[in-house]
Amino acid sequence: MARETPTPLVLKVEASDAGRLDTYLVRQLNEQSRSSIQTWIRAGHVLVNGLQQKTGYALEPGDEITIHNSDALRPQPGSTELQPMAMPLSILYEDESVLVIDKPAGLVVHPGAGTRGRPTLVAGVLAHLGAKAGDLPGEVERPGVVHRLDKDTSGVIVFAKTLSAHRHLALQFKNKTNLREYVALLDGMLPDEKCTVESYLTRDPRFRIRFMAHSLEAYEALKEAEADLSSYRYAKTYIERRKVYGKRLSLVVLRLDTGRTHQIRVHARSLGMPIWGDILYGASQRLPPQFPAALKVALEAVPRHLLHARRLGFEHPLNGRKLAFEAPLPEDFRSVLELLEKHSQS
């Protein structure tokens, strides 16, 4: 009897895990060394979008990796399954329909390529709900998820606990009837007290994990030229300046009219003042000489972008009551503002 040919292992690269081919496979597969992975790649057992590539090939989101003769390199059984992971959760509200949480910075909301074995907020929610976790609606790896926050964005997020709640909340996000308010520290002096940013967002073709903004005029020009605009998404953000520090840094409150991936971060960059600490959308950020040395050291050492989802409001999916929840600024963000306040008063 002829031996059955093993089914190839197929992996899909997510935006959060783009990078070198060999490094990606070391993270994804069964505890193999980089040298063994590199040998497998050079032997032609690994194809990217159907083609053999070098070990250092730069993966982009959406790339499909096919691994042949992969029994020795397959992920451990159950390693891609969603597993509960007990963790402290800052719960702002919970009932039979919804769960509202103050998410800390640095925690991914849901699993994806590159998160195997790492904590996710979804895993924490599953552990919190215990036996009731199986009732969560939504996608297999995103149970209960209605919207998301970037890994390094802190603040309020809501999970739906029933199918009807999920549908009701998703419709509110789609129809823009809910409240989404953020606080951010921008690297630049916002000239106007209030402004509105409108643009069309699409992936940056030179850096696929990043998005770029096209003005309304640029979009119309592309439309007249009959360009392919299927990937372009309209985005609108309201910004209100609250304070300027040292004629350089602006503390702002932002409200979303739409909710696109990286919307606030892209719009801040389009204004020429990216969010402080945002290494994806901002260049190397350095403060001018008029800032005291201690303050410069503290600010330049900030490990994440200073963006916080402060308030989230929605209509309760069961009784129609209007609810609003607020998460205080986390310690890292608050300590930066305290240093800036101290400097502005000296």
**Closest C-alpha to 112, from 146, 62, 162:** 62
CB atoms within 10 A of CB 259: 17
**Interatomic CA distance for residues 81 and 87, integer angstroms:** 18
Annotated active-site residue 278? The verdict is no
For residue 126, which phi and psi values (nearest 5 degrees)?
-60, -45
Encoded tokens for 257:
């009219």
Residue 129 · residue 82 · CB < 8 Å: no
Long-range contacts of 110-114, Cβ-Cβ distance < 8 Å, separation of 24 or more: 110/141, 110/142, 110/145, 110/148, 111/82, 111/141, 112/14, 112/16, 112/17, 112/141, 113/11, 113/12, 113/13, 113/14, 113/16, 113/17, 113/24, 113/28, 114/14, 114/16, 114/17, 114/24, 114/27, 114/28
Encoded tokens for 86:
């007990």
Q: What is the pTM of this model?
A: 0.75
Please give the chain's pLDDT, 346 residues, in tens: 444 455 678 888 877 667 888 878 877 764 455 667 777 888 888 999 989 998 889 999 889 998 876 554 544 444 445 789 999 999 999 999 999 999 999 999 988 655 666 799 999 999 999 989 988 998 777 899 999 999 999 999 999 999 999 999 999 998 999 999 999 999 999 999 999 999 999 998 888 788 999 999 999 999 999 999 989 999 999 999 999 998 899 999 999 999 999 999 999 999 999 999 998 898 667 888 888 888 888 888 888 999 999 999 999 999 999 999 999 999 999 999 999 998 876 5
pLDDT of residue 78: 40
**Interatomic CA distance for residues 113 and 334, integer angstroms:** 32
Strand partners, 204: 207
- Measured at the alpha carbon of residue 269, what is the angle toward residues 121 and 177, in degrees to the nearest 5? 55
pLDDT of residue 250: 97
**Interatomic CA distance for residues 208 and 217, integer angstroms:** 23
pLDDT of residue 300: 83
pLDDT of residue 70: 56
Q: Which of 150, 152, 187, 278 is catalytic?
A: 150
pLDDT of residue 205: 85
For residue 149, which phi and psi values (nearest 5 degrees)?
-120, 145
Encoded tokens for 122:
């979804």
pLDDT of residue 134: 84
**Interatomic CA distance for residues 120 and 142, integer angstroms:** 10
